[in-house]
Structure 1
Amino acid sequence: MPTEATPPVEPLPSAALYRHSDLSSPGFKTTKDLEDVETLVGQERALEAVRFAARMRARGYNLFVIGPKGSGKHTAVRRYLQERARNFPSPEDQVYVHNFADAHRPIALTLPTAAGPILARAMDKMIADLTATVPSVFEGEDYRLRRQAIDKSFAGRGEAAFKIVAEEAAKHGLALLRTEHGLAVAPVEDGKPMPQERFAALPQTDRERLQKAILEVQGQLQEVMRHAPILERERQETIGALDQSVAEALIQVVVDEARAALPEIPVLSTWLDAMRADLVTHIQLFARDDNPVNTQSRSGPPAPGSTSRRRYEVNVLVTHEVDRGAPVVMEDHPTLGRLIGRIEHRAQQGAMITDFTLIRHGALHAANGGYLLLDAQKLVTQPHAWDALKRALYSGKITIEGPDEAAATALAVSIQPSSVPLDVKVVLFGDHRIHLLLSSMDADFGDLFKVAADFDEVLARDPEHDQLYARLIATIQRRERLRPFDRKAVERVIEHCSRLVSDAEKLTTRVGRIANVLREADYVGRERNHKVIRANDVEDALDAQRRRVDRIERQAREQILRETVLIYTEGEAVGQVNGLSVLQIGAHAFGRPTRITARVRVGTGRVIDIEREVDLGGPLHSKGVLILQGYLASRYAISAPTSLQASLVFEQSYGGVDGDSASSTELYALLSALSDIPIRQGLAVTGSINQMGAVQAIGGVNEKIEGFFDLCEARGLTGDQGVLIPAANTVHLMLKSEVRAAVDKGAFRIWTVRTVAEGIALLTGQSAEVVDTAVEARLQAFAEARRRFSLRAED
């Protein structure tokens, strides 16, 4: 296919390699002259979503905040919610109390704001008052006399009954005798029990009369003895009635005092009535301090159903101050227990026991009535926490769950606290990956988190945003209590914000990385005793930042300089081109030259990707090679198949290769091998191609250029070295000052190319027409050789 004449491509001037920041128009000298920014710069769309979710009261309009780490999204969202929450009423208090009907199911009470501690103090005072007054009342003179009267009355009734029996016995010459077996009826003579011999000597009629009388008196005695337990029970009931009347009078006073501590609350009044009735039946708990039950309560919590003074205490789960607004809670470690609350247990007498006083609140309780902020990644990786959050949001209740069934079998006692009503707005923070995972894998996610606030990772760089970023830098400087930055230092930081996103027309929104630069520049300036941070302080801080992490980069370059890895930066070679790749080690990215070679021979029209053949090539790299094949076929084999077999390889590459940014480089090596026209080894190439021969943009252009420049500079710049990049990458150039200085001196060049024709002309020094002619001639020769071989094979 004939090639149209390609005009020569001129190298870029140094002005095109870097976009300087100019803040002279605001007219400030240092950051002390700039005002703070109140919100994140350039995030209006995301902040609008935050405001919508915060104000939307319908169910399911919880918020998922999407953005990279260090973008400032946590701070911005939390500050907005805190400002909004100040205008809300403080939520109600939540307390747990003993359930006098079923001790295993503690009752959750919702009380007015700040009322929880008041009730708890009132109950503590009531317990203290009863502990002090009950012994004095029940051991006092008035109670003792009334108790003695009861005892005397019932003792008299018992004695009167026995007296009647004794008098009846005396009429018949009998008496009641106390023996080791109890009372007995026996005949007497002269006031003494009649001996058996004397009784046997009596006339038979006398004996029969006495025996009959004994039986009658024994019957009367048995009747009296049968009524004795009944009489004792009546005595106990009378004493109980006395105790109850005394207790009720005493308890009514202390309960009324506790009731008066708070306004009338129906659920509280119901519980206080139940407590008053329980106190009456368990007044003995306060009878004296050495009561065995009380001793147990001091040594640890009782089982839920046992009797202890602790049953009258109040467990204040969550309390709030009046007029402090709604809570905004950030839970950094959202385990199941820290999210919904937990029930603690203690060992006592070989068993694990608990009661309502060992219920502990979770983040949902603390944030109830306000906002709960959670990290999505941490939440979903905690066992059962995500499911528990969903249950709470769906049900509108917080149910504290005990240990799982396997663990519960080892516990002697557990409880099931009643649920707490839930009214909370949940905000999840995460990146696009976790948001996509939840959206695609959990059907409930979209129903519960209907709003997404997607924070941009970059924003347009224009004079307005440059000025806003200057104010952002001033804001961070003041909040971090750093030294002021002068105007040139601020401009250098803004320029670095463009370099961080590899785009001269964009700025990073990752406030955390900006803050790191400011802190480190402040450190450099402080070491130099600078009262104001200067541009060279910022530059040196950035250089130090790179030096701390560039060990592997230096080792890779050293391998090339020692020719352990062969990369040529001078001369010419056929079928060999310097490609450029980017390695990422943690947060540090750097460019590394790579030698790409091509070999051709007669074949069946196949281009062998050696990286793919040995499973070192990724899918994107393989796609690039297939596009290359498509370009070759459409350009040189329209009417007949090519008789070419070629191989492409990244020399001395022992790890995986992926991405299509080397597809143009591979094509240039292949065209050189086919045309037998050498390529300048002082040049390096990056860029992908499409099937039409257009060179397309790639990533990491700054790192790639600087990686090749550092190698050439280490060997000595010759003036014939440079890099070819896609024209579309021009706007991404933010190259370091050493590269720009070398370009100004003409010691290094950077060209932008739009087509393969422009690239091959620069690399070979020959026009694209000459290269195409040589390629076509070589392919025709291959076709003729294959035809002759086929004829010989047929013969």
Structure 2
Amino acid sequence: MTKLKPIAPAPLDASRLYTLCDPESFPFTETGQLDPLEDFIGQDRAVAAVRFAMDMDHHGYNLFALGPQGTGKQSLVRRFLEQTADSRPVPGDWCYVHNFDDPHKPRAISLPASQGQPLVRDMDGLIEDLRSALPAAFEGETFQNHQQAIEDEYKKHQEDRFSGFQDQAAERDVALLRTPMGLALAPLKDGEVLSSDDFKALPEEDQDHYRRRMADFQSRLEEMMAEMPRWEKEKREKLRALTKETTQLAVGHLIDALREKWADRAQVLTHLETVRDQVVEDPRDFLPLPDGSPEEAAGRGASLRRFKVNLLVDNGGPRRGAPVVEEEHPTLGNLLGRVEQVAQQGTLMTDFNLIKPGALHRANGGFLILDARRLLMQPLAWEALKRALRGDRIRIESAAEAWGFAGTVTLEPEPIPLDVKVVLVGDPMLHYLLSAHDPEFAELFKVAADFDDRMPRTEEYIRHYARLIAGVCNKEKLPHLDAAAVARVIEQCARLAGDSERLSAHMSSIVDLVREAAYWARSGDRELIGAEQIQQAIDAREFRSDRIRDRIQEEIARGTLLVETEGARVGQVNGLAVLQMNDFAFGKPSRISARVRPGRGEVIDIEREVALGGPLHSKGVLILASFLNHRYGADRPLSLAATLVFEQSYGGIEGDSASSTELYVLLSAIAEIPIKQGLAVTGSVDSFGRVQAIGGVNEKIEGFFDVCKAKGLTGEQGVLIPAANVKHLMLRHDVVAAAREGRFHIYPVETIDEGIERLTGIPAGQPDDDGDYPLTSVNRAVGTRLQRMARRMQDRERSAPPIQVTMG
């Protein structure tokens, strides 16, 4: 008999289950001795991308910062933007003024920084000056005399014409009378006006004579009366010319003073000339109201608003460099600006003074930071942002206008040129979806800053971490950490990264850990945070989150969920899964069972059949079926029907980390060899029988350890993990202690043969030159059982009655 060489792996030494950080290696005793770290660590790729995007002035080189939440991407981006902004010039101010030619299209005026407020004050001062100067000019003696002269001239001209007409009529015995109905002609005899009766008493010939004369003068009177509107118009024109001349004299020196002050701003000069023309043309807005209604007073106030200046963007004051704006609520109005409305006498009114800036206005000439998810959740905001970036201009529009549903007259402010660098911050999935489904995204956001969630665990990065912690303590006035506490934080960083050779870059979790440890230090009246407080914070956070895990462990201990930790069973093995509850993950042991019978080579995945198995899990089952066919069905078809199932599973199953486990239990069922129930298994398998790495290895091991500990550790229990996962081990201290004492074991497995040998205690066996396995091996038992099932299938087929077909 050939003696089989065992290949089952030995358990890992306890020193390989947890990689310690030695506080004695630190050149400090507490973080208060360190200079705080100003730069971010472990994000070299992202930092290079941010710098590149900031230095590229070409169109479309906006930035998308992508990475897991909590990696500090928003803080890093903002810090770099602020550093870049300090070296750039302060952008100018922007104002809106009334468009006297087209009131619903206000004009935009660009000014150097800090010049917007002076223009606002100058125009407000001009309004007040005009309200004083114009009434004084029109109430002055010069204007009054000239106005009276024009009135007197018109009155004299009118009286002269009527007097001459009256004299001519009197010479022809016709009188010109003024009646309540107006001017009238009447016959005149001996200087007396004839009454109607006296006129009728005259001979017919004399009546005709009077009628002819009166008709002649009536036509001449009508001609004279027709000239009166022309006389009135001439008077009004003279009065208007006088008013303009007077207004020009009153306004001219005020406007000229402003023109001299703003001589280098062409847009302001143009607006001042327009204001001059408007005031000269109609100065009534600045004259006192006669006793009028409140409505008239309100109308006068609204009319004066036309001469004001709406300072939309004010970059004056102590600002240094370009603006860095972060918009927390990127709605359409908050992004592009809006035109507000006010209620007046039951009607919604608006004017250019009610134009309000958006984030793009405030960030113009600088940088705008937006949360990508919040932006995409706002209707119309994403499309509006793209339009602004494509056209390099900001056009204010309402949601109704964007939808094409605007039914009321509103303002159309002149668009403002846009020069801004936009930074979107979001999850990687958002970036990938936008890249795949929005053809404009790649043209507008050409740079991606990909933030990593972990970094190498090197001495350099460990020192950087210590300085980072020092900065957090200084900034938030927390107790500093001693060297042992820093070492424990580093170990926890490796645990969060799921890798003993890496550190987590999830800065939010580390900062929270320091804050919570500071709470426990202050509760114990400690001046420094020690390793004990760090561990206390970790335990407290876990306790707050592990209700579901404790409930599952409790039900396993009570026997409600069946998980065996002693003895051996055929076709049954303990698999390991990870459940994620928000930011808390834990391992959950599950029984996986397999049953076999003669069949036609089918491996039925019950989870898939009932639509509880995900595609990756189904892929793993198909791979293990491929392995079976290759190893045991190369010369003959497999004549078996097998079923695989996760017992007491009432939810979805996803991932291929149980494929090696399912293969082990299938081999056990075929060979009818029991598997030790004190062992649990995790790992995926490839078509060649190699065991591959999986995720959540620490949580899976700890989940089975807790079950074994609750039921009693026997020294025979443990977990089989892929050998490739050994470098990821950062197990809890109680698991490491049990392994050190020989009460629990971790076995690194590279192949299915190594694993099945450890699970059954029977050598797996290697084929000889003829392809035969040793008699006392697992593989020989599997092959023998498959041959028996194949013969049974053949016997069934031979004994089956022939099928008779009747042709009718």
Instruction: Classify 1:161/1:738 alpha carbon distance in 2 versus 1 (closer, same or farther; 3 Å).
Output: same
Distance 1:701 1:390 in 2: 44
Distance 1:617 1:206 in 2: 127
- Percent identity of paired positions between Structure 1 and Structure 2: 48
| 1:144 partner SS | helix
Conservation of the 8 A alpha-carbon contact between 1:483 and 1:522? yes
Corresponding residue of 2:388: 392
Conservation of the 8 A alpha-carbon contact between 1:675 and 1:774? yes
Which has the higher mean CA deviation after the structures are superposed, 239-248 or 389-398? 389-398
Quote the offset at 1:45 in angstroms.
Answer: 1.9
Quote the offset at 1:788 in angstroms.
Answer: 3.0
| 1:777 partner SS | helix
Distance 1:184 1:114 in 2: 72
Corresponding residue of 2:109: 109
Choose which of 618, 621, 633 in structure 2 pairs with 1:622.
618
Quote the offset at 1:694 in angstroms.
Answer: 1.2
Corresponding residue of 1:683: 679
One-letter amino acid matched to 2:266? P
Distance 2:107 2:11 in 1: 80
One-letter amino acid matched to 1:309? L
* 1:250-399 pair list within 5 angstroms: 250-289=250-289, 295=295, 298=298, 308-321=303-316, 324-399=320-395
Corresponding residue of 1:696: 692
* 1:325-724 pair list within 5 angstroms: 325-405=321-401, 411-724=407-720
Query: What TM-score results when the alignment is normalised by the length of structure 1?
Result: 0.95
Cα deviation 1:326-348 (Å, max 9, x = unaligned): 11111122121111111222333
Corresponding residue of 1:159: 159
Quote the offset at 1:380 in angstroms.
Answer: 2.4
Choose which of 750, 772, 791 in structure 2 pairs with 1:754.
750
| 2:613 partner SS | coil
Distance 1:646 1:601 in 2: 7
Q: Which residues of structure 2 form unaligned runs of 5+? A: 766-776, 803-808
One-letter amino acid matched to 1:287? L
Quote the offset at 1:78 in angstroms.
Answer: 0.9
Quote the offset at 1:362 in angstroms.
Answer: 1.2
Matched, 1:28 2:28: yes
Instruction: Classify 1:230/1:5 alpha carbon distance in 2 versus 1 (closer, same or farther; 3 Å).
Output: same
Corresponding residue of 2:126: 126
Quote the offset at 1:710 in angstroms.
Answer: 1.1
Instruction: Classify 1:220/1:693 alpha carbon distance in 2 versus 1 (closer, same or farther; 3 Å).
Output: closer
Instruction: Classify 1:668/1:409 alpha carbon distance in 2 versus 1 (closer, same or farther; 3 Å).
Output: closer
Conservation of the 8 A alpha-carbon contact between 2:608 and 2:614? yes
Corresponding residue of 1:771: 778
One-letter amino acid matched to 2:49? A
| 1:133 partner SS | helix
Which has the higher mean CA deviation after the structures are superposed, 92-101 or 633-642? 633-642
Distance 1:81 1:345 in 2: 35
Distance 1:408 1:391 in 2: 16
Distance 1:3 1:636 in 2: 23
Conservation of the 8 A alpha-carbon contact between 2:332 and 2:398? no
Conservation of the 8 A alpha-carbon contact between 1:119 and 1:258? no
Choose which of 726, 740, 744 in structure 2 pairs with 1:744.
740
| 1:768 partner SS | coil
Conservation of the 8 A alpha-carbon contact between 1:13 and 1:744? yes
Distance 1:244 1:788 in 2: 121
Distance 2:409 2:291 in 1: 24
Quote the offset at 1:726 in angstroms.
Answer: 0.8
Distance 1:720 1:299 in 2: 94
Quote the offset at 1:421 in angstroms.
Answer: 0.8
Q: Which residues of structure 1 form unaligned runs of 5+? A: 303-307
Which has the higher mean CA deviation after the structures are superposed, 95-104 or 182-191? 182-191
Conservation of the 8 A alpha-carbon contact between 2:332 and 2:399? no
Matched, 1:792 2:799: yes
Quote the offset at 1:212 in angstroms.
Answer: 4.3
Quote the offset at 1:792 in angstroms.
Answer: 2.7
Cα deviation 1:74-118 (Å, max 9, x = unaligned): 111111111111111110111111111111211111111111111
One-letter amino acid matched to 2:310? N
| 2:88 partner SS | coil
Distance 2:78 2:542 in 1: 33
Conservation of the 8 A alpha-carbon contact between 1:5 and 1:768? no
Quote the offset at 1:625 in angstroms.
Answer: 1.3
One-letter amino acid matched to 2:74? H
Instruction: Classify 1:580/1:444 alpha carbon distance in 2 versus 1 (closer, same or farther; 3 Å).
Output: same
Instruction: Classify 1:750/1:318 alpha carbon distance in 2 versus 1 (closer, same or farther; 3 Å).
Output: same
Quote the offset at 1:221 in angstroms.
Answer: 3.0
Quote the offset at 1:406 in angstroms.
Answer: 9.2
Instruction: Classify 1:296/1:346 alpha carbon distance in 2 versus 1 (closer, same or farther; 3 Å).
Output: farther
Corresponding residue of 1:305: none
| 1:24 partner SS | helix
Distance 1:411 1:127 in 2: 34
| 1:548 partner SS | helix
Corresponding residue of 1:75: 75
Instruction: Classify 1:19/1:407 alpha carbon distance in 2 versus 1 (closer, same or farther; 3 Å).
Output: closer
Distance 1:220 1:785 in 2: 138
Conservation of the 8 A alpha-carbon contact between 1:175 and 1:185? yes
Conservation of the 8 A alpha-carbon contact between 1:300 and 1:348? no
Conservation of the 8 A alpha-carbon contact between 1:318 and 1:361? yes
Distance 1:163 1:271 in 2: 52
Instruction: Classify 1:215/1:658 alpha carbon distance in 2 versus 1 (closer, same or farther; 3 Å).
Output: closer
One-letter amino acid matched to 2:797? S
One-letter amino acid matched to 1:11? P
Conservation of the 8 A alpha-carbon contact between 1:115 and 1:262? no
One-letter amino acid matched to 1:788? D
Instruction: Classify 1:793/1:223 alpha carbon distance in 2 versus 1 (closer, same or farther; 3 Å).
Output: closer
Quote the offset at 1:725 in angstroms.
Answer: 0.7
Instruction: Classify 1:719/1:391 alpha carbon distance in 2 versus 1 (closer, same or farther; 3 Å).
Output: same
Corresponding residue of 2:806: none
Conservation of the 8 A alpha-carbon contact between 2:452 and 2:505? yes
Cα deviation 1:679-714 (Å, max 9, x = unaligned): 111111111111211111111000001111111112
Distance 1:746 1:246 in 2: 109
Which has the higher mean CA deviation after the structures are superposed, 732-741 or 5-14? 5-14
Conservation of the 8 A alpha-carbon contact between 1:49 and 1:452? yes
Conservation of the 8 A alpha-carbon contact between 1:335 and 1:382? yes
Over the aligned positions, Cα root-mean-square deviation in angstroms equals: 2.2
Which has the higher mean CA deviation after the structures are superposed, 69-78 or 635-644? 635-644
Quote the offset at 1:143 in angstroms.
Answer: 2.3
Distance 2:492 2:298 in 1: 65
Quote the offset at 1:746 in angstroms.
Answer: 1.6
Distance 1:412 1:754 in 2: 74
Instruction: Classify 1:608/1:354 alpha carbon distance in 2 versus 1 (closer, same or farther; 3 Å).
Output: same
Cα deviation 1:557-615 (Å, max 9, x = unaligned): 11111111111111211111111000111111110000011112222222221111222
Matched, 1:223 2:223: yes
Conservation of the 8 A alpha-carbon contact between 1:173 and 1:189? yes
Conservation of the 8 A alpha-carbon contact between 2:578 and 2:585? yes
